[in-house]
Amino acid sequence: MNRLFSVFLIAFTVTAAAACRKAPASAAKSDTAASPQPAATAGQGTAQPPAPVEAKPPAKPMPAQLPAVLARVNGEAVTKVEFDRLIKSMEMRANQSIPAERRDEILRQALDQLVTYAVLTQETRARKVMVTAEEVDSNIKQMRAQFPSEEEFKKALDARGMTLEKLKSDTRIDMTINKMVETEVSSQAAPSDAEIRAFYDKNPDKFKQDESVRASHILFRVDENADAATKKKVMEQAQAVLKEARGGADFAELAKKHSADGSAQQGGDLNYFTHGQMVPPFDQAAFALKPGEISDIVTTQFGYHIIKVTDRKPATAVPFDQVSGRIKDFLAEQQKQQKAEAFIQSLKQKAKIEVLV
C-alpha cells in the first residue's frame, strides 16, 4: 500500500541560469543551475500563511516487537505485513532508516495511514466504486515508463517486496479511492472574487517583487584549483578587457568576443535578477553598482567577471491582476483538500477502529 490518495499541489517552474548564478549543493561546480523564477512571477499565490505551531504531546510508544495484527477497522485486520511493507517503502524513499528518536512518532503516523487507507477502501466497496482494467493497466504503464528498462522496474518491485499482481491490486484500490474522493470534492464552489481579493490583501509578503538589477558580464573562466601562473595570465586578460570597457568600448561586443559564458551571444546580458540568485561575490558587486557603472574584477568559483549594471528596479508589490488567476487556483485546490480531509475524518468517525498496539 504505497499511496493513500492524490493530494492537490500547485507546481511552479524554474528557469535555467548562467554560470554566475547560485548552484545547488549537489552541483556546486556546474556551469548552469536551476534558479528561482523572476520576481515578477514568483510568489503568485504560492501558499497560505503558516498557522501557529502547537506543541504536540509525544507519540504513544510502539512495542519493540509488533503483533501480527496491529489494528482492526470494522473487524478487518490491519496486518504487520502491510505495515512492514509501508515502512520499508518510506525508508527507501527517504534513503535512510527511521531515526530512533522519531520511531514512535513515525510508526504511529504510518499506522494511522494504514487505518485511513482501510476505511477508504471499505467505503469504495460499499459505494461500489469501479475502475476498469484498462485504466489500471494505463497507470501501471506510466509507472513502468519511469524506469530505464523492464529489469529495473522488476528490481524496484522486488526491493519493496511487491509483485506485479500486488501492485495492480494496490493500484486499483488507489484509483477507486481517488475517484471517490474526487467525486466528493467536485461540487466545491469556485472561490469568489471577494475571497481572492481578501487573500491578496491579507498576504502582502507573498506578492512582493524584490529589488532587482539587470546586468551583463564578461567571464574569464579559470579553475579554482589552477596554479598561480595560470590565474595570473587569465587575470591579466581580464584587466586588459576591463580597461577597454572603461575606455568606452562597446560592452556587449567585448562580451561576445571574450566571455566564456553562455550569455556571450547576448552580449553578456543576464536579464533581471534579485538578491540571492547569484553567487555571493557576484551578487554583492552587482547590487553595489548604479546603472551604467562597471565593476572591478570580481572573483567567483567560475573565474573572473567584469560586471556592468544596465538597469535597477526597486522593490514593489506584484499587481493584483497579475496574480489573481493563480490565487484562484490555489484557493480552489486548498478548499478541495479541506473538503477531502473533512470527508475522510467523517468516515473515520463512523468506523469502528481498534488500535491494538
What domains can be seen in the chain, in order of their start residue? 15-21+33-45+60-192+326-355 (1.10.4030.10), 211-314 (3.10.50.40)
pLDDT 10s digits, 332-347: 999 999 999 999 999 9
Split at pLDDT 50, 70, 90, the class of 189 is confident
Whether the Cβ atoms of residue 298 and residue 282 lie closer than 8 Å to each other: yes
Q: What is the mean pLDDT of residues 82-101?
A: 88
Q: What is the mean pLDDT of residues 239-262?
A: 96
Q: What is the mean pLDDT of residues 184-208?
A: 90
Residue 91 identity (one-letter amino acid)? E
Is residue 177 scored above 60 in pLDDT?
yes
Q: What is the mean pLDDT of residues 186-205?
A: 91
C-alpha distance from residue 144 to each of 74, 85, 97, 307 (Å): 35, 20, 26, 48
Is residue 245 scored above 50 in pLDDT?
yes
Q: What is the mean pLDDT of residues 319-337?
A: 92
Secondary structure in 3-state letters for the chain:
CCCCCCCCCCCCCCEECCCCECCCHHHCCCCCCEECCCCCCCCCCCCCCCCCCCCCCCCCCCCCCCCCEEEEECCEEEEHHHHHHHHHHHHHHHCCCCCHHHHHHHHHHHHHHHHHHHHHHHHHHHHCCCCCHHHHHHHHHHHHCCCCCHHHHHHHHHHCCCCHHHHHHHHHHHHHHHHHHHHHHCCCCCCCHHHHHHHHHHCHHHHEECCEEEEEEEEEECCCCCCHHHHHHHHHHHHHHHHHHHCCCCHHHHHHHHCCCHHHHHCCEEEEEECCCECHHHHHHHHCCCCCCECCCEEECCEEEEEEEEEEECCEECCHHHHHHHHHHHHHHHHHHHHHHHHHHHHHHHCCEEECC
pLDDT 10s digits, 345-354: 999 999 999 9
Split at pLDDT 50, 70, 90, the class of 95 is confident
pLDDT of residue 68: 96
Q: What is the mean pLDDT of residues 139-144?
A: 92
pLDDT of residue 224: 87
Q: What are φ and ψ of residue 148, in 5° steps?
A: -70, -20
Is residue 181 scored above 90 in pLDDT?
yes
Packing angle of the helix pair 133-144, 164-185 (nearest 10 deg): 110
Packing angle of the helix pair 150-159, 164-185 (nearest 10 deg): 80
Is residue 22 scored above 80 in pLDDT?
no
- The rounded distance, in Å, linking the Cα atoms of 29 and 161 is 38
Is residue 222 scored above 90 in pLDDT?
yes
Locate 58 and state its grid cell. Answer: 509525544
Packing angle of the helix pair 320-350, 103-127 (nearest 10 deg): 80
For 106, other C-beta atoms within 10 Å of its C-beta total: 17
pLDDT 10s digits, 96-125: 899 999 999 999 999 999 999 999 999 999
Q: What is the mean pLDDT of residues 24-47?
A: 32
Taking phi first (over 0 means left), then psi (-120 to 50 degrees means alpha), and beta for anything else, what does residue 248 get?
left
Q: What is the mean pLDDT of residues 311-323?
A: 91
pLDDT of residue 113: 93
Residue 333 identity (one-letter amino acid)? E
Q: What is the mean pLDDT of residues 243-264?
A: 95
- The rounded distance, in Å, linking the Cα atoms of 237 and 239 is 5
Of 20-29, 71-80, 141-150, the range with the highest mean pLDDT is 71-80
- The rounded distance, in Å, linking the Cα atoms of 327 and 201 is 11
Residue 143 identity (one-letter amino acid)? M
Q: What is the mean pLDDT of residues 236-249?
A: 96
User: Of 53, 126, 117, which Cα lies nearest the Cα of 83?
Assistant: 117
Which residue in the block uniquely carries the three cell numbers 489500471?
Answer: 136
pLDDT of residue 20: 54
pLDDT of residue 188: 81
pLDDT 10s digits, 59-77: 899 999 999 999 999 999 9
Query: Would you give the distance in Å from CA 92 to the centre of its chain?
Result: 19
